[in-house]
Amino acid sequence: MTIRALVGAFRNRSFATHFASYSRSLSTLVLAEHEGGSVKASSLSAVEAAKFLGEDNSVSLLLAGSGPSLQEAASHAASCHPSVSKVLLADSDKFTYPLAEAWAELVHVVQQRGSYSHIITGSGSFGKNILPRAAALLDVSPITDVIEITGSHLFVRPIYAGNALSTVRYTGSDPCMMTVRSTSFPLGAVSARSESNTAVIDKVDLSTFSEDYGVGKSKYIGLSSQDTERPDLGNARIVITGGRALKSAENFKMIEKLAEKLGAAVGATRAAVDAGFVPNELQVGQTGKIVAPELYMAFGVSGAIQHLAGMRDSKVIVAVNKDADAPIFQVWSNHTSLLSFSLSSLIQQDHQRLCEYDCSPTQDSLELQVADYGLVGDLFEIIPELLEKLPEKN
Protein backbone atom coordinates (compact mmCIF):
# COMPACT_ATOMS: atom_id res chain seq x y z
CA MET A 1 0.00 0.00 0.00
CA THR A 2 1.44 3.38 -0.97
CA ILE A 3 1.78 6.18 1.55
CA ARG A 4 -0.92 8.10 -0.31
CA ALA A 5 -3.33 5.16 -0.10
CA LEU A 6 -2.56 4.77 3.61
CA VAL A 7 -3.22 8.45 4.29
CA GLY A 8 -6.41 8.19 2.23
CA ALA A 9 -7.56 5.18 4.25
CA PHE A 10 -6.90 7.02 7.50
CA ARG A 11 -8.76 10.04 6.16
CA ASN A 12 -11.71 7.91 5.15
CA ARG A 13 -11.68 6.10 8.45
CA SER A 14 -11.58 9.27 10.48
CA PHE A 15 -14.37 10.66 8.35
CA ALA A 16 -16.35 7.51 8.88
CA THR A 17 -15.85 7.65 12.65
CA HIS A 18 -16.76 11.31 12.78
CA PHE A 19 -19.79 10.78 10.61
CA ALA A 20 -20.86 7.76 12.63
CA SER A 21 -20.73 9.62 15.92
CA TYR A 22 -23.03 12.39 14.67
CA SER A 23 -25.40 10.54 12.37
CA ARG A 24 -26.21 7.76 14.83
CA SER A 25 -29.85 7.75 15.81
CA LEU A 26 -30.78 8.74 19.31
CA SER A 27 -32.45 6.41 21.76
CA THR A 28 -32.96 7.36 25.37
CA LEU A 29 -33.71 5.27 28.41
CA VAL A 30 -35.39 7.21 31.23
CA LEU A 31 -35.06 5.65 34.68
CA ALA A 32 -38.43 6.37 36.24
CA GLU A 33 -39.60 6.51 39.82
CA HIS A 34 -43.19 5.70 40.69
CA GLU A 35 -45.38 6.04 43.75
CA GLY A 36 -49.00 5.07 44.37
CA GLY A 37 -49.42 3.76 40.83
CA SER A 38 -48.18 6.94 39.10
CA VAL A 39 -44.90 7.98 37.56
CA LYS A 40 -43.40 10.81 39.60
CA ALA A 41 -43.31 14.31 38.15
CA SER A 42 -39.48 14.39 38.37
CA SER A 43 -39.33 11.37 36.02
CA LEU A 44 -41.70 13.08 33.59
CA SER A 45 -39.34 16.07 33.62
CA ALA A 46 -36.54 13.68 32.63
CA VAL A 47 -38.69 12.64 29.63
CA GLU A 48 -39.18 16.31 28.86
CA ALA A 49 -35.39 16.80 28.99
CA ALA A 50 -34.89 13.94 26.52
CA LYS A 51 -36.74 16.00 23.91
CA PHE A 52 -33.83 18.46 23.85
CA LEU A 53 -31.28 15.80 22.86
CA GLY A 54 -32.42 15.96 19.27
CA GLU A 55 -35.17 15.04 16.89
CA ASP A 56 -36.06 11.41 16.19
CA ASN A 57 -35.13 10.41 19.71
CA SER A 58 -36.95 7.26 20.70
CA VAL A 59 -37.65 7.39 24.43
CA SER A 60 -38.18 4.30 26.58
CA LEU A 61 -39.18 4.50 30.22
CA LEU A 62 -37.79 1.91 32.65
CA LEU A 63 -39.99 1.10 35.64
CA ALA A 64 -39.16 -1.45 38.31
CA GLY A 65 -41.05 -2.80 41.28
CA SER A 66 -43.50 -5.54 42.05
CA GLY A 67 -47.19 -6.06 42.57
CA PRO A 68 -50.32 -4.19 41.45
CA SER A 69 -48.89 -0.69 41.99
CA LEU A 70 -46.22 -1.43 39.36
CA GLN A 71 -48.88 -2.49 36.87
CA GLU A 72 -50.84 0.69 37.60
CA ALA A 73 -47.68 2.77 37.18
CA ALA A 74 -47.00 0.99 33.86
CA SER A 75 -50.44 1.99 32.53
CA HIS A 76 -49.82 5.54 33.66
CA ALA A 77 -46.33 5.52 32.08
CA ALA A 78 -47.71 4.30 28.77
CA SER A 79 -50.04 7.26 28.46
CA CYS A 80 -48.34 10.00 30.46
CA HIS A 81 -46.19 11.70 27.84
CA PRO A 82 -46.35 11.75 24.06
CA SER A 83 -42.57 11.29 23.76
CA VAL A 84 -42.57 7.88 25.45
CA SER A 85 -42.65 5.14 22.82
CA LYS A 86 -42.00 2.14 25.04
CA VAL A 87 -42.34 1.24 28.72
CA LEU A 88 -39.95 -1.42 30.02
CA LEU A 89 -41.24 -3.19 33.07
CA ALA A 90 -38.96 -5.02 35.51
CA ASP A 91 -41.34 -6.91 37.77
CA SER A 92 -39.55 -8.75 40.55
CA ASP A 93 -39.28 -8.86 44.34
CA LYS A 94 -35.73 -7.58 43.88
CA PHE A 95 -37.19 -4.18 43.00
CA THR A 96 -39.95 -3.93 45.58
CA TYR A 97 -37.88 -1.13 47.14
CA PRO A 98 -35.71 1.12 44.99
CA LEU A 99 -32.32 -0.08 46.26
CA ALA A 100 -29.47 1.32 44.20
CA GLU A 101 -27.48 -1.91 43.81
CA ALA A 102 -30.35 -3.88 42.26
CA TRP A 103 -31.39 -0.94 40.08
CA ALA A 104 -27.80 -0.40 38.85
CA GLU A 105 -27.58 -4.01 37.71
CA LEU A 106 -31.00 -3.69 36.07
CA VAL A 107 -29.80 -0.66 34.08
CA HIS A 108 -26.70 -2.68 33.10
CA VAL A 109 -28.87 -5.54 31.81
CA VAL A 110 -31.29 -3.26 29.96
CA GLN A 111 -28.47 -1.25 28.36
CA GLN A 112 -26.73 -4.42 27.12
CA ARG A 113 -29.91 -5.36 25.25
CA GLY A 114 -31.09 -1.93 24.14
CA SER A 115 -27.77 -0.12 23.40
CA TYR A 116 -29.28 3.25 24.24
CA SER A 117 -27.36 6.36 23.27
CA HIS A 118 -28.50 8.18 26.45
CA ILE A 119 -29.69 7.26 29.93
CA ILE A 120 -31.45 10.01 31.90
CA THR A 121 -32.97 10.29 35.34
CA GLY A 122 -34.06 13.08 37.68
CA SER A 123 -31.45 14.49 40.05
CA GLY A 124 -33.40 13.62 43.20
CA SER A 125 -32.15 11.03 45.68
CA PHE A 126 -33.51 8.17 43.50
CA GLY A 127 -31.38 9.19 40.50
CA LYS A 128 -28.37 10.32 42.51
CA ASN A 129 -28.32 6.95 44.20
CA ILE A 130 -28.62 4.77 41.12
CA LEU A 131 -26.90 6.57 38.26
CA PRO A 132 -23.28 6.60 39.52
CA ARG A 133 -23.43 2.87 40.32
CA ALA A 134 -24.99 2.04 36.95
CA ALA A 135 -22.40 4.24 35.20
CA ALA A 136 -19.59 2.38 36.97
CA LEU A 137 -21.00 -0.97 35.75
CA LEU A 138 -21.23 0.42 32.21
CA ASP A 139 -17.76 2.02 32.50
CA VAL A 140 -18.82 5.53 31.52
CA SER A 141 -18.61 8.86 33.31
CA PRO A 142 -22.00 10.33 34.26
CA ILE A 143 -22.89 14.02 34.05
CA THR A 144 -24.91 15.26 36.99
CA ASP A 145 -27.37 18.09 37.62
CA VAL A 146 -27.86 19.09 34.00
CA ILE A 147 -29.91 22.29 33.71
CA GLU A 148 -29.74 22.84 29.96
CA ILE A 149 -29.30 20.57 26.95
CA THR A 150 -27.98 22.32 23.87
CA GLY A 151 -27.13 19.27 21.77
CA SER A 152 -27.03 15.51 22.01
CA HIS A 153 -23.66 15.72 23.80
CA LEU A 154 -23.58 19.31 25.05
CA PHE A 155 -24.91 20.18 28.47
CA VAL A 156 -24.91 23.02 31.00
CA ARG A 157 -24.56 22.28 34.70
CA PRO A 158 -23.95 24.45 37.75
CA ILE A 159 -20.65 24.31 39.62
CA TYR A 160 -19.38 25.96 42.83
CA ALA A 161 -22.81 25.65 44.48
CA GLY A 162 -24.48 27.32 41.51
CA ASN A 163 -22.14 30.31 41.35
CA ALA A 164 -20.88 29.38 37.89
CA LEU A 165 -22.31 27.44 35.00
CA SER A 166 -20.15 24.99 33.16
CA THR A 167 -20.77 23.79 29.61
CA VAL A 168 -19.80 20.15 29.28
CA ARG A 169 -19.26 18.23 26.05
CA TYR A 170 -19.59 14.48 26.52
CA THR A 171 -16.85 12.72 24.58
CA GLY A 172 -17.10 9.25 26.12
CA SER A 173 -18.64 6.16 24.64
CA ASP A 174 -22.34 5.28 24.78
CA PRO A 175 -24.42 5.52 26.80
CA CYS A 176 -24.18 9.17 27.77
CA MET A 177 -25.65 9.10 31.29
CA MET A 178 -26.98 12.08 33.17
CA THR A 179 -29.18 13.36 35.95
CA VAL A 180 -31.32 16.40 35.14
CA ARG A 181 -32.83 18.99 37.46
CA SER A 182 -36.59 18.77 37.16
CA THR A 183 -36.95 22.50 37.87
CA SER A 184 -35.04 23.21 34.64
CA PHE A 185 -37.31 21.00 32.52
CA PRO A 186 -40.83 21.85 33.68
CA LEU A 187 -43.64 19.84 32.25
CA GLY A 188 -45.72 22.75 31.04
CA ALA A 189 -48.74 21.73 29.03
CA VAL A 190 -47.91 18.14 28.21
CA SER A 191 -50.95 16.62 26.62
CA ALA A 192 -51.83 13.16 27.84
CA ARG A 193 -52.23 10.52 25.12
CA SER A 194 -55.50 8.98 24.19
CA GLU A 195 -56.12 5.35 25.22
CA SER A 196 -55.80 4.14 21.63
CA ASN A 197 -52.41 5.78 21.31
CA THR A 198 -50.50 4.48 24.33
CA ALA A 199 -46.87 3.35 24.40
CA VAL A 200 -45.99 -0.33 24.16
CA ILE A 201 -45.35 -2.07 27.51
CA ASP A 202 -42.61 -4.74 27.41
CA LYS A 203 -41.43 -6.97 30.25
CA VAL A 204 -37.68 -6.90 30.92
CA ASP A 205 -36.08 -10.32 30.58
CA LEU A 206 -34.21 -10.75 33.87
CA SER A 207 -32.60 -14.10 33.00
CA THR A 208 -29.13 -12.47 32.77
CA PHE A 209 -29.61 -10.39 35.92
CA SER A 210 -26.56 -10.99 38.10
CA GLU A 211 -26.73 -10.84 41.88
CA ASP A 212 -22.94 -10.38 42.04
CA TYR A 213 -22.87 -6.59 41.77
CA GLY A 214 -23.56 -5.78 45.37
CA VAL A 215 -27.19 -6.89 45.29
CA GLY A 216 -28.06 -7.75 48.87
CA LYS A 217 -25.37 -5.46 50.33
CA SER A 218 -27.99 -2.93 51.29
CA LYS A 219 -31.27 -3.64 52.96
CA TYR A 220 -34.55 -1.76 53.06
CA ILE A 221 -35.45 -0.82 56.63
CA GLY A 222 -38.50 1.42 56.29
CA LEU A 223 -39.98 4.56 54.87
CA SER A 224 -40.81 7.56 56.96
CA SER A 225 -42.63 10.31 55.17
CA GLN A 226 -44.87 13.10 56.27
CA ASP A 227 -48.54 12.31 56.09
CA THR A 228 -49.63 15.63 54.72
CA GLU A 229 -51.77 17.07 51.97
CA ARG A 230 -49.26 19.81 51.30
CA PRO A 231 -47.83 19.99 47.77
CA ASP A 232 -44.59 18.22 46.99
CA LEU A 233 -41.62 20.46 47.83
CA GLY A 234 -39.91 19.82 44.50
CA ASN A 235 -42.89 20.98 42.40
CA ALA A 236 -44.79 23.44 44.61
CA ARG A 237 -45.80 26.88 43.29
CA ILE A 238 -45.11 28.44 46.70
CA VAL A 239 -42.49 27.34 49.24
CA ILE A 240 -42.32 28.68 52.81
CA THR A 241 -38.96 27.98 54.43
CA GLY A 242 -37.82 28.31 58.02
CA GLY A 243 -34.29 28.49 59.35
CA ARG A 244 -32.44 27.97 62.60
CA ALA A 245 -34.03 31.14 63.98
CA LEU A 246 -37.27 29.22 64.57
CA LYS A 247 -35.46 27.70 67.58
CA SER A 248 -37.64 24.60 68.04
CA ALA A 249 -39.87 22.05 66.32
CA GLU A 250 -42.80 23.58 68.19
CA ASN A 251 -42.11 27.06 66.80
CA PHE A 252 -41.61 25.59 63.32
CA LYS A 253 -45.34 24.80 63.32
CA MET A 254 -45.87 28.52 62.56
CA ILE A 255 -44.17 27.94 59.21
CA GLU A 256 -46.40 24.92 58.61
CA LYS A 257 -49.55 26.94 59.43
CA LEU A 258 -48.49 29.69 57.07
CA ALA A 259 -47.82 27.12 54.35
CA GLU A 260 -51.27 25.66 54.87
CA LYS A 261 -52.90 29.06 54.49
CA LEU A 262 -51.05 29.70 51.26
CA GLY A 263 -51.36 26.16 49.86
CA ALA A 264 -47.57 26.02 49.93
CA ALA A 265 -44.90 23.40 50.56
CA VAL A 266 -42.65 23.67 53.61
CA GLY A 267 -38.88 23.91 53.27
CA ALA A 268 -36.08 24.19 55.80
CA THR A 269 -32.41 25.05 55.98
CA ARG A 270 -29.90 22.41 56.90
CA ALA A 271 -29.39 24.11 60.26
CA ALA A 272 -33.11 23.66 61.01
CA VAL A 273 -32.98 20.03 59.89
CA ASP A 274 -29.80 19.29 61.89
CA ALA A 275 -31.41 20.85 64.96
CA GLY A 276 -34.27 18.35 64.56
CA PHE A 277 -37.05 20.89 63.91
CA VAL A 278 -38.17 19.05 60.75
CA PRO A 279 -37.18 15.90 58.85
CA ASN A 280 -34.36 15.83 56.33
CA GLU A 281 -36.71 15.53 53.34
CA LEU A 282 -37.62 19.21 53.78
CA GLN A 283 -34.07 20.48 53.39
CA VAL A 284 -33.56 22.91 50.54
CA GLY A 285 -30.08 23.49 49.20
CA GLN A 286 -26.94 22.04 47.77
CA THR A 287 -27.31 18.85 49.77
CA GLY A 288 -31.11 19.00 49.89
CA LYS A 289 -33.83 19.61 47.33
CA ILE A 290 -33.56 22.05 44.46
CA VAL A 291 -36.69 24.16 44.13
CA ALA A 292 -37.77 26.91 41.74
CA PRO A 293 -41.28 27.96 42.81
CA GLU A 294 -43.10 31.08 41.73
CA LEU A 295 -42.79 32.40 45.29
CA TYR A 296 -40.15 31.46 47.89
CA MET A 297 -40.54 32.95 51.37
CA ALA A 298 -37.60 32.52 53.75
CA PHE A 299 -38.03 33.21 57.47
CA GLY A 300 -34.93 33.43 59.66
CA VAL A 301 -32.68 32.13 56.91
CA SER A 302 -29.25 33.71 56.68
CA GLY A 303 -28.74 32.94 52.98
CA ALA A 304 -25.67 30.72 53.14
CA ILE A 305 -24.34 29.85 49.69
CA GLN A 306 -25.27 26.18 50.16
CA HIS A 307 -28.89 27.16 50.83
CA LEU A 308 -29.03 29.58 47.91
CA ALA A 309 -27.84 26.78 45.62
CA GLY A 310 -31.21 25.13 46.13
CA MET A 311 -33.60 28.07 45.73
CA ARG A 312 -31.98 30.90 43.82
CA ASP A 313 -33.95 30.10 40.64
CA SER A 314 -37.24 30.89 42.42
CA LYS A 315 -39.19 33.52 40.50
CA VAL A 316 -39.85 35.82 43.48
CA ILE A 317 -37.88 35.54 46.72
CA VAL A 318 -39.14 37.18 49.92
CA ALA A 319 -36.84 37.16 52.95
CA VAL A 320 -37.66 38.04 56.55
CA ASN A 321 -34.64 38.39 58.82
CA LYS A 322 -33.91 40.55 61.83
CA ASP A 323 -30.36 41.18 60.65
CA ALA A 324 -30.23 43.81 57.89
CA ASP A 325 -26.76 42.56 56.92
CA ALA A 326 -27.81 38.93 56.42
CA PRO A 327 -26.41 37.56 53.14
CA ILE A 328 -29.94 36.86 51.88
CA PHE A 329 -30.40 40.65 51.66
CA GLN A 330 -27.15 41.15 49.77
CA VAL A 331 -27.25 44.15 47.49
CA TRP A 332 -25.13 45.14 44.52
CA SER A 333 -22.04 47.07 45.59
CA ASN A 334 -23.21 50.68 45.31
CA HIS A 335 -26.79 50.27 46.47
CA THR A 336 -26.82 50.20 50.19
CA SER A 337 -30.24 50.38 51.67
CA LEU A 338 -32.72 47.59 51.99
CA LEU A 339 -36.14 47.62 50.60
CA SER A 340 -38.52 48.68 53.28
CA PHE A 341 -42.23 48.39 52.92
CA SER A 342 -45.04 47.96 55.30
CA LEU A 343 -46.19 44.54 56.26
CA SER A 344 -49.67 45.38 55.09
CA SER A 345 -48.43 45.73 51.51
CA LEU A 346 -47.13 42.20 51.75
CA ILE A 347 -50.53 40.85 52.60
CA GLN A 348 -53.01 40.65 49.80
CA GLN A 349 -56.69 40.07 50.22
CA ASP A 350 -56.38 37.40 47.61
CA HIS A 351 -53.47 35.28 48.72
CA GLN A 352 -53.29 33.62 45.30
CA ARG A 353 -51.86 36.88 44.08
CA LEU A 354 -49.25 37.16 46.80
CA CYS A 355 -46.41 37.09 44.31
CA GLU A 356 -47.85 39.95 42.30
CA TYR A 357 -47.98 42.59 44.97
CA ASP A 358 -46.72 46.02 44.27
CA CYS A 359 -44.26 47.81 46.53
CA SER A 360 -42.00 50.81 46.21
CA PRO A 361 -38.33 50.67 47.06
CA THR A 362 -36.95 53.37 49.33
CA GLN A 363 -34.21 54.09 46.78
CA ASP A 364 -34.99 54.23 43.09
CA SER A 365 -31.90 52.37 41.97
CA LEU A 366 -32.07 49.61 44.55
CA GLU A 367 -31.45 46.08 43.32
CA LEU A 368 -31.35 43.07 45.59
CA GLN A 369 -29.02 40.25 44.72
CA VAL A 370 -30.83 37.35 46.34
CA ALA A 371 -34.16 38.45 47.80
CA ASP A 372 -36.50 40.38 45.54
CA TYR A 373 -38.27 41.66 48.64
CA GLY A 374 -36.69 41.88 52.06
CA LEU A 375 -38.28 42.66 55.38
CA VAL A 376 -36.07 43.39 58.39
CA GLY A 377 -37.87 42.24 61.48
CA ASP A 378 -38.52 39.56 64.05
CA LEU A 379 -40.22 36.52 62.57
CA PHE A 380 -41.92 35.83 65.89
CA GLU A 381 -43.89 39.06 65.36
CA ILE A 382 -44.22 38.93 61.57
CA ILE A 383 -45.48 35.36 61.11
CA PRO A 384 -48.33 35.68 63.68
CA GLU A 385 -49.36 38.94 62.01
CA LEU A 386 -49.32 37.28 58.60
CA LEU A 387 -51.34 34.36 59.95
CA GLU A 388 -53.89 36.73 61.39
CA LYS A 389 -54.25 38.89 58.28
CA LEU A 390 -54.15 36.28 55.55
CA PRO A 391 -57.55 34.93 54.60
CA GLU A 392 -58.40 31.32 55.37
CA LYS A 393 -57.69 28.87 52.59
CA ASN A 394 -60.91 27.87 50.83
Ligand X SMILES: Cc1cc2nc3c(=O)[nH]c(=O)nc-3n(C[C@H](O)[C@H](O)[C@H](O)COP(=O)(O)OP(=O)(O)OC[C@H]3O[C@@H](n4cnc5c(N)ncnc54)[C@H](O)[C@@H]3O)c2cc1C
> Which member of 243, 292, 329, 354 binds ligand X (CB under 6 A)?
243
For the CB of residue 208, give the shortest distance to ligand X in the complex, in Å. Answer: 39
When the beta carbons of 73 and 326 are compared against ligand X, the nearer one is 326
Sign for the pseudo-dihedral over CA of 229, 230, 232, 237: positive
When the beta carbons of 114 and 300 are compared against ligand X, the nearer one is 300
The response to whether 30 counts as a known ligand-binding position is: no
> Which member of 193, 237, 244, 257 binds ligand X (CB under 6 A)?
244
Asked if residue 49 binds ligand X (CB under 6 A), the reply is: no
When the beta carbons of 32 and 339 are compared against ligand X, the nearer one is 339
Distance CA 130, CA 134 (A): 6
Residues 6+ apart with CB under 8 A from 167: 150, 154, 155, 156
Site string for ligand X, 346-385 (x = CB under 6 A): --------------------------------xxx-----
Distance CA 59, CA 47 (A): 7
Nearest to 285 by CA among 302, 304, 264, 299: 304
When the beta carbons of 301 and 318 are compared against ligand X, the nearer one is 301
Asked if residue 302 binds ligand X (CB under 6 A), the reply is: yes
Name the one range near ligand X by CB under 6 A: 140-148, 183-191, 263-271, 354-362: 263-271
Distance CA 31, CA 43 (A): 7
CA angle 88, 133, 171 (to 5 degrees): 90
Asked if residue 312 binds ligand X (CB under 6 A), the reply is: no
Beta bridge partners of 95: none
Phi, psi of 340 (to 5 degrees): -125, 125
Name the one range near ligand X by CB under 6 A: 57-65, 104-112, 227-235, 296-304: 296-304
When the beta carbons of 30 and 266 are compared against ligand X, the nearer one is 266
> Which member of 286, 340, 348, 369 binds ligand X (CB under 6 A)?
286
When the beta carbons of 301 and 338 are compared against ligand X, the nearer one is 301
> E-assigned strands of the chain?
26-31, 34-35, 38-39, 57-65, 84-91, 118-122, 143-146, 148-151, 154-159, 164-169, 176-180, 200-203, 238-242, 265-268, 295-299, 316-321, 373-376
Q: Which residue is nearest to ligand X (CB)?
A: 285
When the beta carbons of 247 and 389 are compared against ligand X, the nearer one is 247
Whole-Å CA distances, 207 to 30, 48, 95, 211, 213: 22, 31, 15, 11, 15
> Which member of 238, 269, 291, 386 binds ligand X (CB under 6 A)?
269
Whole-Å CA distances, 202 to 44, 85, 280: 19, 11, 36
For the CB of residue 382, give the shortest distance to ligand X in the complex, in Å. Answer: 8
Distance CA 266, CA 236 (A): 9
Distance CA 276, CA 246 (A): 11
Instruction: Give me Rg for the CA atoms of the chain.
Output: 24
When the beta carbons of 94 and 270 are compared against ligand X, the nearer one is 270
For the CB of residue 369, give the shortest distance to ligand X in the complex, in Å. Answer: 15
Asked if residue 283 binds ligand X (CB under 6 A), the reply is: yes
Distance CA 123, CA 129 (A): 9
Element (H, E) at 261: helix 249-262
Asked if residue 162 binds ligand X (CB under 6 A), the reply is: no
For the CB of residue 158, give the shortest distance to ligand X in the complex, in Å. Answer: 13
> Which member of 51, 128, 237, 322 binds ligand X (CB under 6 A)?
322
**Binding region for ligand X (CB under 6 A):** 243-245, 269-272, 283-288, 300-302, 304, 306-307, 310, 320-323, 326, 378-380
Question: Would you list which residues are annotated within the binding site for FAD?
Answer: 244, 269-270, 283-287, 300-307, 321
